[in-house]
Structure 1
Amino acid sequence: MSPKHTRGRRPRIVFVEPAETQVRVLTTAQAVRLDDALNLLAAAPDEVKPHATASALRDYQHDGVRVIFYATALGSILIVTYVEVD
C-alpha cells in the first residue's frame, strides 16, 4: 500500500508497562483529558517536538497533560512510554 493510502488512518496507541500503571491511577477527569490529548496526537504525531534526550521520542505537553511516545516507522502505531496528568 502506498503512503498516500495510509494518511487518513489514525495510528493504534499502545502503552508500555510503566505508562499502563500511570494510566490506571488516573481519576475519571484526568483520563478524559488524556484521551483528548491522545486523539490530538493520533491526528498529527509528527507535529510534536522531539524529546530533549532522545530524538526518536516525542514529548507532548499541553494543558497539564504530558505524553512521551514514539511512532513506528510507518506511523501506524504510537507507543506511549510515559503519561502525566495534573
Structure 2
Amino acid sequence: MSPEHGTRCSRVIMVEPAFTQLAKLTASETHRLDRGIIAISVNSELGTEVPGTLLRGYADEVDGVRVIFFVSALGSITIVAFVEA
C-alpha cells in the first residue's frame, strides 16, 4: 500500500434486527458500540466464525459489546445482523 493511501474501511450497513436492538440502547451504550463497529469496518477478520454460517461474531469484553456480522465477497461492505451492548 502506498504511503498516501490509508487503511481501507468497509461500508457498514445494518439490517432490521440490528436497528431494533440499536433503538433500545442508551447514548453511552451506542457510543461503546460505535467503537466496535469501527473496529470491524477496519478489520473484517476480527472475531470468530459462527460455525455453519457466513457470519462472524465480534465481542469486545472491555466495552461490553457484541456484534454479529458478515462481509461481502470483496470485503467492501460489512452487514451487521445483530448488536448488543
Structure 1 length as normaliser, TM-score? Answer: 0.83
Aligned to 1:48: 47
- For residue 81 of structure 1, report the CA deviation from its aligned partner: 0.4
1:67-82 equivalent positions in 2, closer than 5 A: 67-82=67-82
Spell out, residue by residue over 1:15-65, the C-alpha distance to the aligned partner (whole angstroms, 9 max, x if none). Answer: 0001111111110000000001111111111232101342x1000011221
Q: Distance in 1 between matches of 2:25 and 2:46?
A: 26
Q: How many residues align?
A: 81
Work out the CA distance in 2 between the residues paired with 1:83 and 1:27: 13
Aligned to 1:33: 32
TM-score, with length taken from structure 2: 0.84
- Segments of 5+ residues of structure 2 without an aligned counterpart are none
Partner of 2:83: 83
Tell me the equivalent position of 2:65. 65
- Runs (4+) of structure 1 exceeding 4 A deviation are none
**Amino acid across the alignment from 1:42:** S
Which amino acid in the other structure matches residue 60 of structure 2? H
Q: Percent identity?
A: 39
Q: CA contact under 8 A between 2:68 and 2:83: conserved in structure 1?
A: yes
Q: What is the CA RMSD across the aligned residues, in angstroms? A: 2.0
